[in-house]
Amino acid sequence: GSSSSSWRASAPHRVPAETTALWAAPRSLRDSGHLPRGRDAQDPWQLLGQSPREEDVFELLRADFDRWKSPQAPNKGSIYREGAALLGDLAKKRLPFIASMALGLMNKSGIPIDVFHFSAVIGACEKTGEWQMALGLLQSMPSMRVAPNVVSFSSCISACQKGGQWQLALGLLALMPEMKVTPNEYSYAPAISACDKGGQWQLALSLLSDMPTLRLSPNVISCNSAILCCSNAGESLLALDLFRSMPQRSLVPIVNTYGAVMTACRNLGDWELALSILSMMSAASVPPNEPAYNLAISSCEEAGQWQVALRLLGIMSLAKCPPDVFSCSAAISACGHAGEWQQALSVLQGMPGRSVTPNEVSYSAAMMAFSAAGQSELVLSLLRRAPQMKADAVFYKSALQALSAGGQFQEAVDLLRRMPGLGLKPDEVSYDAAIGACQKAKQWQLAVSLLGDMPQLKLSSLGFA
Give residue-wise pLDDT tens across range 12-57.
333 333 323 333 444 444 344 333 444 444 678 888 876 788 888 8
In one-letter notation, the amino acid at residue 363 is Y
Tell me which of 65-69, 126-130, 157-161, 213-217 is least confident.
65-69
Instruction: Assign 3-class secondary structure to the chain.
Output: CHHHHHHHHHCCCCCCCHHHHHHHCCHHHHHHCCCCCHHHHHCHHHHCCCCCCHHHHHHHHHHHHHHHHCCCCCCHHHHHHHHHHHHHHHHHCCCHHHHHHHHHHHHHCCCCCCHHHHHHHHHHHHHHCCHHHHHHHHHHCHHHCCCCCHHHHHHHHHHHHHCCCHHHHHHHHHHHHHCCCCCCHHHHHHHHHHHHHCCCHHHHHHHHHHHHHHCCCCCHHHHHHHHHHHHHCCCHHHHHHHHHHCHHHCCCCCHHHHHHHHHHHHHHCCHHHHHHHHHHHHHCCCCCCHHHHHHHHHHHHHHCCHHHHHHHHHHHHHCCCCCCHHHHHHHHHHHHHCCCHHHHHHHHHHCHHHCCCCCHHHHHHHHHHHHHCCCHHHHHHHHHHHHHCCCCHHHHHHHHHHHHHCCCHHHHHHHHHHHHHHCCCCCHHHHHHHHHHHHHCCCHHHHHHHHHHCHHHCCCCCCCC
Q: How confident is the model at residue 323 (pLDDT cuts 50, 70, 90)?
A: very high
pLDDT at 463: 57
Could you give the number of structural domains in the chain? 1
Long-range (24+ apart) CB contacts under 8 A made by 62-68 are 63/5, 63/8, 63/9, 63/12, 64/8, 64/12, 65/105, 65/106, 65/109, 65/111, 67/8, 67/9, 67/12, 68/111
In one-letter notation, the amino acid at residue 331 is A
* Residue 1 pLDDT greater than 80, yes or no: no
Q: Is 385 a member of any domain?
A: yes
d(CA 168, CA 205): 18
Nearest to 332 by CA among 318, 321, 320, 354: 354
Question: Residue 446 CB: number of other CB atoms within 10 A?
Answer: 19
d(CA 35, CA 60): 17
d(CA 169, CA 153): 9
* Residue 239 pLDDT greater than 60, yes or no: yes
Q: Is 21 a member of any domain?
A: no
Q: Is 436 a member of any domain?
A: yes
Nearest to 91 by CA among 45, 41, 42: 45
d(CA 426, CA 459): 9
Q: Is 332 a member of any domain?
A: no
Q: In terms of C-beta density within 10 A (0-12 exposed, 13-18 middle, 19 or more buried), how is residue 95 classed? A: buried
* Residue 298 pLDDT greater than 70, yes or no: yes
Do the Cβ atoms of 261 and 239 come closer than 8 Å? yes
pLDDT at 242: 96
pLDDT at 394: 81
* Residue 464 pLDDT greater than 60, yes or no: no
Q: Which domain holds residue 417?
A: 375-465
* Residue 406 pLDDT greater than 50, yes or no: yes
Q: Is 79 a member of any domain?
A: no
* Residue 133 pLDDT greater than 70, yes or no: yes
Q: How confident is the model at residue 9 (pLDDT cuts 50, 70, 90)?
A: very low
Q: Is 454 a member of any domain?
A: yes
Whole-model pTM: value is 0.74
Q: Is 388 a member of any domain?
A: yes
pLDDT at 462: 61
- Where on the phi/psi map is residue 305: left (φ > 0), alpha (ψ -120 to 50), or beta? beta
Q: Is 357 a member of any domain?
A: no
Please indicate whether residue 78 or residue 6 has the higher confidence score (pLDDT).
Answer: 78
* Residue 155 pLDDT greater than 60, yes or no: yes
Q: How confident is the model at residue 340 (pLDDT cuts 50, 70, 90)?
A: very high
